[in-house]
Each structure stands twice: as C-alpha cells, then as structure tokens.
Structure 1
C-alpha cells in the first residue's frame, strides 16, 4: 500500500478513535411526572420565583417543579463546582404549575462538589443555586 493511501486511511481512523474516547459530559432531558422529592440527608433543594429544584445524591436524581402560572418552562441543573465545568445535567419541566413535579434520573461523577440550580424560563429567566455533594461528605 503506498504511503499516501495509508495516510488518507489513517486520518479518519484516528479521528474516529479520538471521538469515541471523548465522553459526553452533558445531558439534558425532559423530566417524567413524579411525586415530590425525598427529604433528609444528602437531599438539597433550591427555589427561585417560578421554580423549585431538588437533588438526591443517592440515585443521582433531580426533581423540578413549576411554582408560578406564568407560561414559562422551568429547569433544574446540576453541575461540577470546579471552574473546568467538566460535567452538567439539566432536567426540564414544561408541564406548567398544575403539572406538579417531574424527575430525571442521571448518572454523575461520585464524590464531587457541585451546584444545583433552579431556573424559571431557561437561558433568560430568574435563577438561584445551592451547593451539593454528589455522594458522601466532601
């Protein structure tokens, strides 16, 4: 096989291997209707006008509820607290105030400090955050 052919074949193969080795660190989904989040240790909640969000470290679950009939969707976001921002997950609720809680079941890195955000009208609306731990005490 001549050298040019080997190079032309090798570049796409290398690019494919690099892309396959790059893990997706972001995930966004619409939540499924559920009851309210649990209470107790390793459960954090935060509220902002129009939205309430909770995170339970056991099971990596996120809940979000629309708390104001204003026509805006709401979201709960969990993310790495480090400046590198190596991971985040987002759970959307577009069911309105009468739609109650929705829940998203994520997989997040263990033993990480992070942030939980409650957001009314994602990307442009009001938001608030609180610190969380993904598992155990940090």
Structure 2
C-alpha cells in the first residue's frame, strides 16, 4: 500500500517533527551564567595587530594570563587589575570576559560591544591575596542571552606571583 501526502501535508509533518525534536533551550545557549554585574569595557582604540594604548609600559599579558574561545578572548593584567576583552568573531554578538574570585566577591563581567577585532578594558580592584578565574563567551544584548562555546582559565593569582 502506498500513502501519498500532498506537499503541504508533508511540509507540515516535517515542521511538526522538527518542532518536537527541538530542545527548549538552544544547544549553544549558556544556562549556567551567574547574575553577573556587566560592565561595558572602554574601547582602547587598538585592533589585534597593535598593543592597546594604555599598556604603554607593558605588552598585553602573555597567553598564560588569557583564555579564548570562538568569538571571545579574555586576558588579565595584574598590574592595575585590568580585564581585557577582544571580540574575535564578526557575528553581531558582544564578547564577554567573566571573572570569578576565590574569596567571595560577586562574579563580574566585562563586555566588549566595540565590535570585531577591537580590544576593550575594564579596570577592577581585586584583593591582592586572592585568585581570579576568567571565562570567555559571547553575549546577545538584544535577548540578554549568553552563548557557548565558552572557555575557562585556571585560577590566576591577582598579584601576579606564580
């Protein structure tokens, strides 16, 4: 026996199947994001080929002080407690540099909405005896959602000692 469906019925059946197969939350939406205090970073006027202006005495921190994933690179400069965020994807989303501490300070995030291939910085004041952990991911300001993939650094000493 052969069953024939009209093109409209076939399209509706396929749409219903896709709708049932779709998860309630998009697979690339980060659901474990804390209630970050979101700070908009200051655009330093430098792209990835240059050194951000405010680091005149220093170069950008070495990669051991950075974490990156698709769309976002986050670095920590222990001289001055500066969080640097680079948007590495021209996808219309902001790059986010999340920061966690090991001493009870509420999680914070530095947002780069200056655009692709631009560095921004957020000045912080962390306890010199503490450690921080960086998280890189993307943020859609229109929806207020954070997106994967994400990446975490290890714990970094705020005072720069190893």
Aligned residue pairs, count: 110
Q: 1:57 aligns with which of 43, 61, 78?
A: 78
SS in 1 for 2:65: strand
Give the Å deviation of 1:51.
0.6
1:130 corresponds to 2:153: yes
Q: What is the DSSP-based 3-state SS (H/G/I as helix, E as strand, rest coil) of the residue aligned with 2:121?
A: strand
**Off by >3 Å, runs of 4+ in structure 1:** none
Give the structure with higher Rg (CA): 2
Kindly provide the CA deviation profile for residues 78-128 of structure 1, in whole angstroms up to 9, marking residues without a partner as x: 21136xx43333110112214x10011111111212201111226531211
Change (3 A) 1:39 1:97: closer
**Structure-1 residue corresponding to 2:122:** 104
* 2:65 alignment partner in structure 1: 44
Deviations 1:54-96 (A, max 9, x none): 00111000110110111111111221136xx433331101122
Cα gap change, 1:71 to 1:87, in 2 (>3 Å): same
TM-score, L = length of structure 1? 0.67
* Two-structure CA RMSD over aligned residues (Å): 2.5
Deviates more, 1:121-130 or 1:47-56: 121-130
The TM-score with structure 2 as length reference comes to: 0.58
Q: Which residue of 2 aligns with 1:73?
A: 94
Contact 1:53 1:118 in 2 (8 A): yes
Q: 1:45 to 1:136 in 2, by over 3 A?
A: closer
How far apart are 1:40 and its partner, in Å? 5.2
Gaps of 5+ in 2: 1-35, 53-58
Partner of 1:15: none
Given candidates 52, 73, 93, the residue that maps to 2:112 is: 93
